[in-house]
Every structure is written in structure tokens, then in C-alpha cells.
Structure 1
Amino acid sequence: MRNKKVSEQRILQNITVKADSFECSITADIAVFGYVDHRLKLLLTKRSVGEFTDHWMLPGGVMEAHENIEDCTHKVLFALTGVKNIHFEQVKVYSNINRHPIKRVVTVSFYALVRPENHPLFLKGNVEQIAWFDLDEIPKNLGFDHAQIIHDAHMYLKNNLKDRLVMGELLPKKFTLSELQGLYEDILGLELDKRNFRKRIFQMGILKSTGEVKAGVKGGPILYDNPTAKKP
């Protein structure tokens, strides 16, 4: 009985945070998806210093002592690409022991969905190239475990579409149901049944009619308000 108690105490010691507990660096990696001409694209950077200098990577960087992970994400995006003030969502945490060649690094991944024309890019810091890539033309020479992070972020985005409205700046302030369905079809890469799609959208109880119709379109489709559109 005594040996069992000693064993339980040792287990408790191993799961309790102490001053000398193992520490590692935490980073943020952001999959920024762009919606251009009915196609999804991904923003990648190539850096002139650091590991994998000849590889394309997601915008990413280390969290500092005074930051939380969201602060770090905003900092990294602006520091590497010039992109700022965008909405992003957390996808997953990656903690494989050997995922970084220098030291133990845990990364938290995020995704964002934007219209590239709303976010001019700037070469900043040690970034030597920055570009949007079609999802079916992602370079093979990706750094770290970013191929897996990209795949997971894309799947997370598509799964999100099934349960909630994800549109933000991708649709105008006022839009029709046909425009909304077209957006979903472009992102999911498949054709949706019109009746089932509208039934599912209305079941969410989020859409609000503006009481207006779209001028110049046959049938005068109703316009709905985009609650997530940026204010002018």
C-alpha cells in the first residue's frame, strides 16, 4: 500500500508546474487563405535568414514573454507581410518533439480568410519573397511541418462552413443567397443542392433580410445583411 502511495506522489510531482519544469518556445503559424476570382489561394513567404531559407513557409514567429498567442499572431503577420487587422481562428497545436531543428518548439496554428485586394503585401524584415499560391499549386519545398499545418487548416476551414456562416469580407455588405451559395461552392470545391443549402442556412437563424432586392437581376432576389463585413 505504501509503495502505491509513493508511486502516486511521484506521478503528481510530474504533472505539477514547478519553477524548474521543462520549458520550450511557442510560435504562431498562420494560414492566410485568399479568395480571388472564385478560387482559394494561400499566402506563403520565403525568408533570407534562419532555417529552411530555400523553402516556402507560412507566416510564423515566436511568442515573446510579454505577449499572448493572439498578440504574437498579429505581430508576425504584420512583421512579415504587412497584413494587419484581420480576423483569424485557432486551428490546432503541434508539439512533435523534433519538429524544429534548433530546439523544442510548440506551434499554435491559425487560419484567416481574406480578399487579397484588401490587404496590400509588403516585403518586410528578412522576407525575400511573398506570394499567393493556388491551393493545387502549393510549392513542394515547404519548411518545417507546414505541409501538414496547411492541410489541417484547409480542412478546418471547410468543416467550419458546414456549421456556421463564414463570409466576412468575402461578400459585400448586402448579398443574395445565390452569391452566398457560390462562395461556399468555390471554397468547398463542389456543387451544392440549392434547396438543401438554403434550408441549412436558414436553420442557423443568423441571416437577416434587408427588405431590399437586388436591382437588375431577374426575379429580384432578396438582399441579406452581412454582419461580419467591415464597416466603411
Structure 2
Amino acid sequence: MSNKKVFEQSNLQNLTVNTDSFECSITTDIAVFGYVDHRLKILLTKRSVGEFTDHWMLPGGVMEGNETLKDCASKVLVALTGVENIHFEQVKVYSAIDRHPIKRVITVSFYAMIRPENHPLFLKGNVEQIAWFDMDEIPKNLGFDHSQIIHDAYMFLKNNLKDRLVMGELLPKKFTLTELQGLYEDILGLQLDKRNFRKRIFQMDILKNTGEVKAGIKGGPILYEYRVDKKA
């Protein structure tokens, strides 16, 4: 048998899972975005124990043997911030060999979009500080690789907003087209043509006319909401 074939067979044996296969810890980190006074914000924490105690970090924690990734993400949010019962989506996996100073750790990031006023924050567990930061005023002293994770989650949010109109709780359940365009412009940093914006939104066929108008505004603009059968 040639050396090449022996090498190929050896490599194939290493591709199957066995009792000696490499193992490492898996964590989840959650980028929770909020929208207040036309500003996009992100939720960060400081902890009193563990690595990077003097740094701001995304809510995150280790996955246990009886949990799925989403179970872990939900657990982390409740345990560290008090935020619960929100929708979040997976963003990316980070597996750099040296990303954690103690051991090999792979993290899976998620993102969520909420209205901060609907989710009171609580200092829980080993969290000593928790705060909302404007996206252009994020502290420089971030732990681990959370600067990259935040950047990637922010780009994921913007792409989802443009391509799928995924905006979570960033607007009320019922909103005007002007409020929706304002959200786009605030997050994407763009000035959008009103007519072209509305044409594109209606082409997406994702909004429902509620038949109601917004009270207290001259002309009573129509209120819209997500179509239930289209909502992400």
C-alpha cells in the first residue's frame, strides 16, 4: 500500500467521533440591541468574578450537558440581566484557539432586538454593573473577543433589517410608515427617499394595514403591523 493511501486512511479514522475525540467548552454570547430616542443601543455587563472583571462584556455563559444552545442563551440572559421571553437568532460561531485565556472555548453568538422599557434590568448573580450603550459610544475595555462579536451582530442586524424587515421589538406592535423609515435611517445611517422606501416595503408584502390611525398627529397616519404569516 502506498504511503499516500496509508495517510488518507489515517486521516479518515480521525474524522469519526470516538471516546478520545477532542472536547472543549461551548458558550453562548448574546448581543441584545435596544432602540431609544432614535438611537440604537447594546446591553453590556461587568462581572465581579472570572476573567476580565474590569471589562464590559456581552451577557454570556457556558452551555451545560442537558442544554441546547438556545436553552443556554435564554438561561444566560435571565441569570445575568433579568431579560426573558424574547426572540433571538444565531449569528456566528467563534473558534479561535486562543480566544479564552483558561482553556479552549468555542462560543456561539446570538442577537436580539428589544424595547428596553419593556424589559427592566436586574443586577443578578455576579454582575456588578449592567448598562445600555449607544453603538457609537461602546466602551473600549471589552473582554475576550466581544468587540468582534458585537461588530458581527450589528452587521447581521442591519442586513436582516434591509433584506427581511426583521426589527424585533424595536418599534411598537403598531407603527406608522414614517416611524419605520426613521428606524431604517437611524440604524443604517442613511437618508432614504420616502416614495422609493415605501414602494420597496410594500413589495416585501410583510406589513398589514390595521385600519387604525395614529392618534394625536395631524392627518392621522395609518398604523401598520407585521403580517402574522410573514413575521420572522
TM-score range, shorter chain: over 0.9
Whole-Å separation in 1 of the counterparts to 2:92 and 2:100 = 17
Identity rate, percent: 84
Deviating more after overlay: 12-21 vs 89-98: 12-21
Whole-Å separation in 2 of the counterparts to 1:143 and 1:212 = 47
Shift of residue 57, structure 1, vs aligned partner: 0.5
Whole-Å separation in 1 of the counterparts to 2:213 and 2:162 = 26
Listed as ranges, the matches of 1:1-232 within 5 Å are 2-227=2-227
Q: Deviations 1:119-145 (Å, cap 9, x if unpaired)? A: 111111111111111111111111000
Q: Deviations 1:21-40 (Å, cap 9, x if unpaired)? A: 00000000011111111101
Q: Is the 8 A contact 1:89 1:111 kept in 2?
A: yes
Give the 3-state SS of the residue equivalent to 2:72 in structure 1.
helix
Whole-Å separation in 2 of the counterparts to 1:167 and 1:135 = 16
Give the 3-state SS of the residue equivalent to 2:92 in structure 1.
strand
Q: Is the 8 A contact 1:80 1:125 kept in 2?
A: yes
Give the 3-state SS of the residue equivalent to 2:14 in structure 1.
helix
Give the 3-state SS of the residue equivalent to 1:56 in structure 2.
coil
Shift of residue 216, structure 1, vs aligned partner: 4.4
Gap regions ≥5 residues in structure 2: none
Deviating more after overlay: 60-69 vs 171-180: 171-180
Give the TM-score, by structure 1 length.
Answer: 0.93
Shift of residue 225, structure 1, vs aligned partner: 2.2
Say how many residue pairs are matched.
228
Gap regions ≥5 residues in structure 1: none
Shift of residue 193, structure 1, vs aligned partner: 1.4
Q: Is the 8 A contact 1:172 1:226 kept in 2?
A: no
